[in-house]
Structure formats: structure tokens, C-alpha cells
Amino acid sequence: MSARDLDAVGLDAVDLDAGDPLAAFRDEFHLLPDTIYMDGNSLGLASKPALAALHDVAEAWKGQGIDGWLGGAHPWYHLSERLGAMAAPFLGAQPREVAIAGSVSVNLHQVLATFFKPHGARTKILIEEAAFPTDAYAVKSHLALHGLDPADHLVVVPSAGGTALDEDAVVAALNGEIALAVLPVVLYRTGQLLDTRRIALAAQACGALLCLDACHSFGAMAHAWHDDGVDAGIFCTYKYGNGGPGAAAGLFVHEKHLGTRPGLPGWFSSRKDKQFDMDDTLVAAEEAGAYQIGTPNILSMAPLLGAFDQIARAGIDRIRAKSLALTGYMIERIDAQLDGLGFTIATPREAARRGGHVALRHAEAARICKALKDARVIPDFRPPDIVRLSPAPLYGSFAEVAETVRILRDIAVERRYLAYPNVRDLVA
């Protein structure tokens, strides 16, 4: 690669940034000084509207005390449902099908406790080999709670090299023995986007229920969960949702299942007008709010008022278009500049099969991530050999993508990663 070629890369990026319809949103974030942030798929940067909303709710607490539950601009008593309605358009859901509550892991336990009802020959749960650990732990625990041995009742669809999942294999594994399938929309390591409509239709055809994990797609792309007949879904809000560390998570229950008794009820599962009757018999809500459990974490939900409004203003389709342009540009740069340096792209190249990040495999991935951080580029590492790079569409730029790949090239050409101990101590 000559210096001239590198200049051309820079010019491309300048042109692309100049034509970016979402460029103004960059100012709505607290960017890290002199740093390129490529980790929006783990934790979105601090959004100014999200922090303003948090401040408003804190002020309501200061000014109203207990009356904040029912008073003020955002009565806390209704916040789970209100935020659910704000998130619903990003999921292709009806407002009453979504609630914001708890964490992804807790919400998955709720979905399993509510909808995994083994009966007759239909006793199995289907997941994929590269499932996020919480998903695998949760499904195994629910099999065990039903006295079912995961060795016989957990169907794990293999994925090539533990990463690339073949949808044909998923569809082939859906049969009359599967009670529930738990699958990601986007695989967290490789960024592979599944054809969830095809999978939802296959699940319906064989009578299995489908729960989707949208942690890596929520806020990055549109979904069509209501129309596709997806039974249940879970998602986090701290990645592309920009809700902040540990922000409350989301859950989706399709209209056709609303009214199903929650498996893990609490008093916040109640119909709103019945909750303060304090009766010891639950009258459950007839909306997704029924599947929350206890008092909502208001301060972990407040930022979402600003963050969801920001996504709505940007437009989820424009967000997806920019995300694809950024990752497509990154793939082009990687092809042009990292050839022969030991990298392979683990993310599918086709736009329709790509999520929001690009996964690069390299034998020295852990040390390369350390070298990137020291060069003020924030990636993340996923064992055994993946560098994940996520140019977030609301605040990432094409110039940052070009610069990231240029820095990666320098690190690899100069073997700068050798300066770091070969330990996998990166978390994110």
C-alpha cells in the first residue's frame, strides 16, 4: 500500500462523512477525547439526551419524593410500559407487546418460566453452538428445573468453527420435539445476522415457540417481530440503545400470547389498576408489562427516555443504512490494507447477513486489541481469536473507520502486538 493509496482512503472517508445524513447526531454524544470508539456493540457512548433524561428523573425524585411514582412528566409507575411503547417501533411490535424491565438474563428466565412447557414428545429446547453464555446457562437451568437432562433435551445447532451458523441446519433441526427455540438475531462474536423471518415461519410450521435475543440488533436495525409471529424476545439497551451501563433491558411477548400467566410473577406483573389492591391473588396485566417482576429500576430506565427518542429522531432505517455503509466501508478497507497480515473477516460480507460490527480473526487477536487500545482505538476481544470493531451509526464516522484500519495495519506490519503479554484479560 503506497502513501498515495492511503491518502485516497482518507479522501473517500471525508466525502462519505460529508454526505452522511446522521452526521449531526455525533454532537449529541460525549465522544472520548482523542479516541476512536469501536465498541458501541458492547456499551454505547454516553448520549447527551440520555443523560438529560436521567437528570430530569433525578430532579423529579428531588422535588417530588414518593409522588414521582404517579406525578410529573414521566410517572415512574408507568415507565416500563411507556418505554416499551417507545421501543416497539424499533422491533416492529405493537406498543403493548414490549416492556422495559430487569436485565436480559432475568427476562430470558421469565420467558423460559412462562413459555417452556414440555409436554408429550415436545420436550426439547433448541439453541445454537455459539449462543451467548447467559442464554445457554438459562435454557439448561430450565431443563433441569423440569427434570430433563440437557444431554437428551438440549438441541445445539452446530456452527462452523463455532461461529458461522447455517440457517438450513437451524430449520432442519426444528421439529415436533422442539418446545422452544432461543436464537440470536445477530451472533455476538461474528456479527452474522440471521434470517429470523425464515426461522420464525419454520418454528410456526412445526409448532415450536421462538424466543429471539436481539442484544446485538436492537437500536441498530429494524425488526418485524409482530408480523413475523415471533413468540417472545429479549434485548439489552446499553449497546446500540445507548442507555448506559446496566440500563434496564427489554422483553417482547407477541400479542397472541398476552394473557399467558407469567412464570415468575411479582407484584409489578399486576394489572395497573389492581396492583394497589394488595390482594394475594395476582390479576396479571394483559400486556407485556405482566412479565416484569418487581419495582422497576427507575434510574436505570430514565436514560432510555432520551436515548429512544434519539433513535426515533434519527430513524431506525437511516441508522441501519449508515451502519451497513460503515461496516461495508470497513470491509473494503480491510481487504485493501490488511491482506497477507494474518487477518480473516469472520463477518458475512453480504449486507443482508451482517449486523452492526465487523469481526476480524487473528491468531494474535488478544494482543492486537491491547495494541489498538494503546493507539487510542477501543475495540473488544472475544476469545479465542476475534477482534470486534463496531463503528456505531449515531456517532461513528467513515474517517474513524479508515483510521482504525490504518492503525491496525501499522500494528500488524510492525508486529507491535509482540510488546504485550499474551494473556486474555480483556473484558467488555
Beta carbons of 354 and 324 less than 8 angstroms apart: yes
The reply to whether 252 belongs to the active site is: no
- Best CA proximity match to 361, nearest among 383, 376, 377, 379: 383
Q: Which is nearer to ligand PLP, 221 or 371 (CB)?
A: 221
Backbone angles phi, psi at 174, to 5 degrees: -80, 115
Task: Pick from 77, 90, 132, 225 the residue near ligand PLP by CB under 6 A.
Answer: 132
Greatest Cα pair distance in the chain: 75
x/- binding map, residues 210-229, to ligand PLP, per CB under 6 A? ---x-xx-------------
In sequence order, what are the residues at sequence separation of 6 or more whose Cβ sits closer than 8 angstroms to the Cβ of residue 132?
184, 188, 213, 215
What's the half-sphere exposure (Cβ side, CA atoms, 13 Å) at 106? Answer: 16
x/- binding map, residues 153-192, to ligand PLP, per CB under 6 A? -------------------------------x---x----
What is the footprint of ligand PLP within residues 91-130 (CB under 6 A)? 103-105
At closest approach, how far in Å is the CB of 104 from ligand PLP? 3
Q: Which is nearer to ligand PLP, 153 or 388 (CB)?
A: 388
At closest approach, how far in Å is the CB of 275 from ligand PLP? 25
Q: Which is nearer to ligand PLP, 124 or 189 (CB)?
A: 189
> Does 134 engage in binding with ligand PLP (CB under 6 A)?
yes
Give Rg (Cα) of the chain.
Answer: 22
- CA 306, distance to chain mean position in Å, is 18
At closest approach, how far in Å is the CB of 186 from ligand PLP? 8
Task: Pick from 43, 171, 249, 302 the residue near ligand PLP by CB under 6 A.
Answer: 249
How many residues at the interface with ligand PLP, by CB under 6 A? 13
Distances (CA, A) of 101 to 97, 230, 408: 13, 19, 39
The reply to whether 238 belongs to the active site is: yes
Q: Grid coordinates 454505547 are at which residue?
A: 44
At closest approach, how far in Å is the CB of 93 from ligand PLP? 19
Omega before 384 cis (within 30°)? yes
The reply to whether 239 belongs to the active site is: yes
- Best CA proximity match to 142, nearest among 166, 169, 168, 116: 116
Catalytic residue (choose from 25, 218, 238, 417): 238
The reply to whether 188 belongs to the active site is: no
Asked whether the CA dihedral 96, 101, 104, 108 is positive or negative, the reply is negative
At closest approach, how far in Å is the CB of 423 from ligand PLP? 22
- Best CA proximity match to 368, nearest among 330, 418, 332: 418
> Does 251 engage in binding with ligand PLP (CB under 6 A)?
no
3-state SS, 12-78, equals HHHHHHHCCCCHHHHHHECCCCCCEECECCCCCCCEHHHHHHHHHHHHHHHHHHHHHHCCCCCCHHH
Q: Which is nearer to ligand PLP, 250 or 391 (CB)?
A: 250
**b vs e for 3-24, b when ≥16 Cβ sit within 10 Å of the residue's Cβ?**
eeebeebeebbeebbeebebee
The reply to whether 137 belongs to the active site is: no
Q: Which is nearer to ligand PLP, 184 or 265 (CB)?
A: 184
Q: Which is nearer to ligand PLP, 207 or 246 (CB)?
A: 246
At closest approach, how far in Å is the CB of 277 from ligand PLP? 32
Binding interface with ligand PLP (CB under 6 A): 103-105, 132, 134-135, 184, 188, 213, 215-216, 236, 249
Q: Which residues are catalytic?
A: 132, 213, 238-239, 388
